[in-house]
Structure formats: C-alpha cells, structure tokens
Structure 1
Amino acid sequence: MPFGLRKIPFSVQILLGLVLGVALGFIARSNDLSWLTSTLHTVGSLFVQLLKLAVPPLVFTAIVVSVVSLRGVANAARLALKTLMWFGITALIAVSIGIGLGLLVDPGKGVTLDLGGAAAPKKTGSWTDFLTGIVPTNPVGAFVEGNVLQIVFLAVVIGAAALLVGEAAEPFVALNRSLLEIVQKALWWVIRLAPIGTLGLIGNAVASYGWDLLAPLAKFTTAVYVGCAIVLFVVYPLVLILAGRLNPLRFFAGAWPAIELGFVSRSSVGTMPVTQRSVERLGVPREYASFAVPFGATTKMDGCAAIYPALAAIFVAQVFGVHLGVGDYLLIAFVSVVGSAATAGLTGAIVMLTLTLSTLGLPLAGAGLLLAIDPILDMIRTATNVAGQALVPTVVAAREGTLDRAAYESAGRRDLVDPEPVADTRPELSPVPA
C-alpha cells in the first residue's frame, strides 16, 4: 500500500471506496457500461472469496487454541451460556421491533404484484437443519464447503479433547498456534484490500440493481431499513449502557469498520475476520472472541433472522389476504429467537424467511416476491447482524469483568490494521470450580 494511503485511517479508506463505488455504479448504470459493471462485480467477488478462503483455517485454529488456553471447561461453558442468553435477549427485542413496525406501517396493504409469477425459492429452511447441519458427514467436507458451524463444532470437540489429553497433545497445539499466526498474517494482507473490495461490491450493487426495483415495495423497504436502524442506533446503545456500563460511541468507533464492510459485502462470514479483530480491539479477551465471533457469525442474525422475517411475514400475509392473530405473532418471535440456529448451516435471509412462512402456514411463494430487492435489503440486514455479533461478546466480557476498559475507550483511536501489537492488560479468564 502506498505510504500516503497508510496515513489515512482504515475506516476512512473504506468510506472513500464506498463513495467511489457508488459513483462508478451510477456511471455504469446510467450509460449502460456492461464492461464496468463486470469489472466491479469481479473486483468485489474476488475480495469476498479471498476473505472466505481464510475463514475455515482461521476459525478452526483459533478455537482449538482458545479451548486449550482456557483453564477450565466449566468457565467456557458459562461464557457460552451467557453468550447464548444475550443472543436470545437481543433477538427478542429485534423481532418485537420488526413486528411493531409491521403492524404500524402495514407494508403489504395496497401493494399490487403479479402473484402468478411468484415461486418458492430453491432453498428453504426447516427445524431439522440445525441437527443435520451441525455434524459434518466428514471433516474434510466441512472445510471444502466452508460450513462455519460445522468447523466450530469440530474445533470445539478437538480442542476439548486436546485439553483433556494434556501434555501429549502439546505438539498438535503448538502446530495450531503456528498455523493461526500464519493465517492471521496472510489474512491481514487481504484486509488491507478492503477499500478496493468495497468499491467493487457497492459499485456492482448500484450498477446491477440501482433503486428502480424499490418503487413498488418502497414501504416494505423503508420499514426494513428503519427497523434495522432502530436496533443499531437505539437498542444496541441502550444494551451497552444498561447491561455493560459502556459508552456506545466508543463501541461504534471500534466496530464501525466491520459494520461498514458487512454493509457492502453482505456476508457475515466474509466479514468475520474484521469483526473478530474489532472485538479484540474493543478489549474482549482473544480466547473468548475466538469462540463468540465465529459462533455469532452463524447464529446471531438480528437483521436477517429477526427484523426482516417479521416484517416480511406480515407483508406476505397482507398481500395474500391472510389474517394473523396474536398466536401467529408469538410464533414469529419464537422462530426468530430459536430458528436462526435451525438455519445456521445454510445461507441467506430467504432461508430464514421460508422457515417463518412455513411455520405460520403462509405460502412460500410469497418469499419469491421479495427476491428482486433482496440484495438491497441484505446490505442493512448484514450490517445489523455484524453489529450484534460484535456487541454481545463486548457486553458479556464487560459483565464478566474481563473487558479491558482502557482498550475499549481507545478502540477508535488506533487504526484497525495498525501492525504494531497492543499491550494486553486484560484480566485473565479464571477457571470456575467444578
């Protein structure tokens, strides 16, 4: 990277890439420049592929090392339970906001669409997907397919086994530590390309979709963006203040590069390395962040699994003339809080939506009505997902007394890709008596 660019903060570089990408996207769309659209698509896709390439080895080695580093399995179990609890609490709040907005704005009333052309998506979610998706058919398959949930499962099992084996497992643990260092070094070469990747991703989105598709679904689109904004900038700050006694401005300063990248990449898994780095910069112990962030990237989806399915279910019901009662809204809340785990091995909010629709007995073809604008909605949904994935580990660490508050207060003052190590003054995770 040129020396002059290195002086510009990383988040500012991403913002510049986003602005330039929007401009190039509008130029390509306005002048029908297919070669420019193709170039932007290629640049963005290559960046996301490079990010996803590093995810499987990063997740596996980081979790194995972090499990072995914990001095008591009971402590890890307690942290996991508290993480799950806060996942559920914030998801319940998010889905309540989605339902409330849906009842307030009636997104499907007055909408005229060609229902005959609607078809059910190819991928649909079911309640057995979690059980069948968490255990891989073979270890290699999980890595080949990039199934993060299965990799997390394998890493936890192998890490726990290595922890119990003790000294005999030290060569294996040392190998994983070395691999982790190598993967992290290579990964940050890729992360430095984020401004260019941002340019390609947002440019391709604007060139390919523009805002023309939003006209017939303007009310629904606005509701999704408003709902996600309420969760991002009202609910999350309140959780930080009330539950963690933390300054929300410092959180957003530290987590913003990940939120920004999530918005343009539309991939929680692809953004996961940046999310984990941001969480560690916020003062969360690395061994805990190695658990919580990968786990959250597959199961913590307040945008895709809470706000969006709630609003979309109400939209589909109104378009098809189906009345929803109190019991149906309770079912939507239940699916949003628990159902994200059932679709964790799959991808896309459409899968979560089909699970919600099938649970309510609504036509799955209703999901097909929203496919045209899904990429535009997915940007704000993924940004909300990523913010939640950074929020919960930060709050849990603060409540456990393991958060480095000095690092938290200075999180936004150091560049995310600053190569110089930061002195780790965080309290160690202490074991819990069995």
Structure 2
Amino acid sequence: MSASASATEAKPSSRIPKVPFWAQIVAGLVLGVLLGWIARSQDVAWLKETLIQVGGIFVQLLKLAVAPLVFFAILVSITNLRKVNNAARLAAQTLLWFMITSLVAVAIGITIGLLTNPGSGTGLTPADGKAPEGQGSWIDFLTGIIPTDVITPFTELNVLQIVFMAAVAGIAALQLGEKAQPILSLSESILELLQKALWWVIRLAPIGTAGLIGKAIVNYGWDLLGKYATFTADVYIGCALVLFGVYPLLLATVAKVNPLQFFKGAWPAIQLAFVSRSSVGTMPVTQKVTERLGVPKEYASFAVPFGATTKMDGCAAIYPALAAIFIAQIFDVQLGVKEYLLIAFVSVIGSAATAGLTGATVMLTLTLSTLGLPLEGVGLLMAIDPILDMIRTATNVAGQALVPVIVSAREKILDHTAYENASASPIDDPAEGRETEPEKAVVAAA
C-alpha cells in the first residue's frame, strides 16, 4: 500500500463525525417543540415571530420550486418511457396499483371512523365551523384541468393544470421523435438544476422543522388537541395501519421482498415528507430512494413524479373518509352505504386534486360537496390540519415509493441485489448520479 493511499485512508478517522440527516431532523423536531412551548407559555413575542417566520420561509422555499419541478419532471418522465420495454404495460400496472392501494386505504379510514365516532362528544358545534375561501367541486375539477393560458398555472400554482400541460408536451415530444431531442436535453438539464437547488432547501429541513413544529405549538398549543383527540388519533392510527400494515403485507405477498429493507431504503424520503408536508418537495429524494431500492431509473423517473401528483393514500383516502364522518356527526347528518361508496369513488378518482402540496383542503371540499355535507365543516379542521398533514404526507410518499417496487417485482425488472442493499449508503444529493462520500471515491480509484 502506498503512502498516499495510507494517508487517504487515515484521513476520515480524523474528521468530525457526520451527524446523520435523520438525527438532524429529530433534533430540529425536539428543538421546535421546546422553543414553541417556551414562546407560548412565557409569551415571548420575538421567539413566536421567529418560529413563525422560519417555518413560513422553509415552506415558501419548497413551493418556489414546485411549479417548474412538476412541469419538467412530468415531461421528462413521460419521454423516458420510450427507453423502457413494455412502457404501456408498466404505466397501466402503476395506475392499477395506485387505485388498489387507495381503495384499501379509504376502506381502513371508513372502518376506523365507524368504530370510533370521532365527531361525538367533542363539544364542537356547527357554529364553530366556517366555509373555506376556496372549494372543490366535480365541475371545477374537470374543467379546471385545462388552463386558459400557459402562464397562470405557474403564477397561481395550479399543479393539476401544470401536470396537464407537461403531459401534453411529453406526448408531443414522443410523437416528434428525434426532432424533439434538443428540447428534451434542455428539459433534462433544467430538471437536474431544479433538483440541485431543491436539495439545498432540503438540507435546511432540520431548521425548517424547528420552525414549523414551533409555529404549530405557538398558534394552537396543546389544548386544541383535546377537542380533536379522537379524530387526531384516528388519522394517525389509520395512516400507521396503511404504512406499517398494508404496505409490508403487499411487499411480502405481492412483491415477495423483505418489507424491512423497503423501510430502510425509503426512510430518508418518508422522514423528510413528515416534516416538510410536501410530496412534490420530497420528490427528488423519493425518486432517488426508489432507484436505490432496485427500480430501474427510467421507470422510476416516470412512476415517482406521476405518484407525487396523484398518489395520496394519506391526504386523499384516509383523511377525507375520516373527515367526512367527523363532520357528518358534528352536523348531525346520517351517512349510509351510498355515501361511503361515494367517499371511496372520490378518493380513487379525485386524488389528483391534492396535487402534492401541503394540505388537503381541495380534496376535502370535493368530498364534502359530493356527499352534500356542509362545507363549513372544513373550518372545523383547519386549525388541526398542520399536525395531521405530517403523517398524511409521510404515508403519501411511502406509497409513491411502494408501487414502483411492487410493479417492478411483478414485471421481473427489480434489481433484488440493490433492494437488499438499499440502506448501505445515505442520500447525500438526489441530483447527483454518483456517490459523494470521500470514502467511496477512494474505493472507486483503487
């Protein structure tokens, strides 16, 4: 062994140990709870304002990249299908499993709601609610897919319209073939640039976590949880059953792989989704962990962006089912089999309305309007929404990584060796196509 090689191998031991990203986020979570409690209990005005601003800035930075990221991710993902064998079959299988898992999730939500009666004994009344400023209806949903111009969807952050334009552009590029290659090369470069910039924002997640959690405690405190205790527990239990019950069962029985390895590989994306509350903001990490779980890159680059805008087991299945039952009980409205079937229908067909952004108000209003329930019920849930949105988004993102693994395994294109070793290396930069750790660079050069 040469002297230079010895020096290189000895160097890492002298460095300050790197704190894992998950540990940084946990530290931010604990710090946010502590600072929020201090700010609220001691009425520290400057600390309250600081937490609110830090949390708000972090979310705003995530949203800043959403519009262009969604457009170029969907465009590139559709054109990448030309590199995949049986692309149409893979796309159909992906959509089918999106629907199957959504149906299971909404069934769990309805069952939990019927067993626990979350709206009973809360002390809340119809007078406590207020109609939302914006709402969703089937007419709005269907007509709102097609934009009136190409600028407004980006300025108003209408993700559904952005997805529509990107899909049209992607299909047109496929039809043009080689003539569209310059545009595709430019789009791929812009997408990599956006992912790099978004990764810088993601690295701020520990600080953003402290601000967001602290902001929630400052604004709502712990007293609020009392009135919503059953409903909050229902949402967390429902998401946990899907996340740690249904998903592992599907992995073991359908994909025939070790569920524990899935969570080891997908955990960076799941934990980031929990604190950021944005499926789209987490998308670069979700795509990277999906690839490291052995899903072919060309297929993952289609399935993950598609899922980040349409696959919402937490926000579009479990939550609206429980919320509809909760609101119906507050307003003393009886729901029957027909209404529960409508909830399932809306969850499967209308999930794209959530659009991968923080919150699920549009999906909830779409569900309530379909059932004929008072939209004032949405106001009852707005205060508690940030606390619920964390587990909902984590469930969304886990499902977005799960389905490509299942489809790849069924189609026999899953790299089982990569899957079994998915947790061997951390996610340092989703925009990079190679490892960035110095130790790995040494091994590659040896």
Q: Unaligned stretches of 5+ in structure 2?
A: 1-13, 437-446
Map 1:189-338 to 2 at 5 A: 189-338=200-349
In the other structure, the counterpart of 2:389 is 378
Partners of 1:277 and 1:184 lie apart in 2 by: 11
Structure 1 residue runs of 5 or longer lacking an equivalent are 424-434
Match of 1:8? 19
Note closer, same or farther for the CA distance 1:66–1:262 as it changes in structure 2 (3 Å cut).
closer
Aligned mates of 1:219, 1:369 — CA distance in 2: 14
Q: Does residue 129 of the first structure (1) align with residue 146 of the second (2)?
A: no
Q: Equivalents in 2 of 1:72, 1:285: separation in Å?
A: 11
Provide the aligned C-alpha RMSD in A. 2.6
Structure 1 pair 346–56 and aligned structure 2 pair: CA distance change class (3 A): closer
The DSSP-based 3-state class of the residue aligned with 1:414 is coil
1:178 and 2:192 aligned: no
Show CA shifts across 1:79-100 (max 9, x none).
Answer: 2221111111111111111111
What one-letter code is carried by the residue in structure 2 that aligns with 1:421? Answer: R
Identity of aligned residues (%): 68
* Offset, 1:342: 4.8
1:421 is aligned to 434
What is the deviation of 1:346?
Answer: 8.3
1:188 partner amino acid: W
Question: How far does residue 345 in structure 1 lie from its aligned partner after superposition?
Answer: 9.1
Measured after TM superposition, the shift of residue 4 of structure 1 is: 6.3
AA in 2 matched with 1:15: V
Alignment partner, residue 64 of structure 2: 53
Deviations 1:179-227 (A, max 9, x none): 2333333332332222222222222222322321011221121111111
Most deviating of 298-307 and 8-17: 8-17
2:400 alignment partner in structure 1:
389
Q: Which residue of 2 aligns with 1:427?
A: none
Partner of 1:96: 107
CA distance in structure 2 between the partners assigned to 1:343 and 1:420 by the alignment: 30
2-structure distance, mates of 1:326, 1:168: 53
- Cα deviation for residue 105 of structure 1 reads 1.0
Q: Which residue in 2 is equivalent to 1:429?
A: none
CA distance in 2, matches of 1:68, 1:377: 36
Tell whether the 8 Å contact from 1:92 to 1:337 is kept in structure 2 after alignment. yes
TM-score, with length taken from structure 2 = 0.86
The residue identity in structure 2 corresponding to 1:192 is R
Secondary structure at the aligned position of 1:226 is classed as helix
- 1:8 offset after TM fit, Å? 2.2
Matched, 1:20 2:27: no
Matched-pair contact (CA < 8 Å) for 1:264–1:379: yes
Tell me whether 235-244 or 44-53 shows the greater mean CA deviation: 44-53
Verify the 8 A CA contact 2:51 2:214 in the aligned structure 1: yes
Aligned partner (choices 83, 88, 91) of residue 80 of structure 1? 91
Q: Is the 8 A contact 1:198 1:261 kept in 2?
A: no
Contact 1:59 1:290 survives alignment (8 Å): no
Question: Residues 301, 6 of structure 1: CA spacing in aligned structure 2 closer, same or farther, 3 A cutoff?
Answer: farther
Q: Which residue identity lines up with residue 28 of structure 1 in the other structure?
A: A
Equivalent residues of 1:48, 1:270 under 8 A apart? no
Q: Is the 8 A contact 1:142 1:150 kept in 2?
A: yes
Quote the Cα distance in structure 1 between the aligned partners of 2:340 and 2:209. Answer: 37
SS at match of 2:414: coil
In the superposition, relative to structure 1, how do residues 391 and 341 fare at CA in structure 2: closer, same or farther (>3 Å)? same
2:408 partner amino acid: A
- Between the aligned partners of 1:58 and 1:5, the Cα distance in structure 2 is 35
Letter in structure 1 aligned against 2:198 = L
Letter in 2 for 1:329: Y
* Equivalent position to 1:105, from 113, 116, 128: 116
Q: Separation in 2 of the partners of 1:312 and 1:162?
A: 42
- Verify the 8 A CA contact 1:67 1:287 in the aligned structure 2: no
Q: Return the index of the structure with the highest Cα Rg.
A: 2
**Residue 6 of structure 1, CA deviation:** 7.1
Partner residue, 1:68: 79
Out of 355, 369, 372, the position equivalent to 1:361 is: 372
Per-residue displacement from partner, 1:56-83 (whole Å, max 9, x unpaired)? 3333334433433433799433222211
How many angstroms apart in 1 are the aligned matches of 2:67 and 2:126?
Answer: 41
Q: Deviations over 1:235-283 (max 9, x none)?
A: 1111111121122211112222222222222222222222222222222
Pair 1:119–1:409, CA change in 2 (3 A): same
In 2, distance between residues paired with 1:199 and 1:346? Answer: 20
Counterparts in 2 of 1:148 and 1:287: CA distance versus 1, 3 Å: farther
**What TM-score, normalized to structure 1?**
0.89
Counterpart for residue 48 of structure 2: 37
Kept in 2, the 8 Å contact 1:17–1:195? The answer is yes
Specify the code of the residue in structure 2 equivalent to 1:271. Answer: T
Q: CA deviation at 1:316?
A: 1.9
Task: Specify which of 379, 404, 415 is matched with residue 404 of structure 1.
Answer: 415
Residues 40-61 of structure 1: CA distance to partner in whole angstroms, max 9, x if unpaired? 2222222232233333333333
Q: Is the 8 A contact 1:148 1:294 kept in 2?
A: no
Q: Deviations over 1:388-431 (max 9, x none)?
A: 122112222222222222222222221111667169xxxxxxxx
Q: Which amino acid aligns with 2:21?
A: F
Aligned mates of 2:356, 2:283 — CA distance in 1: 16
Structure 1 CA distance for aligned equivalents of residues 223 and 252 of structure 2:
40
SS at match of 2:383: helix
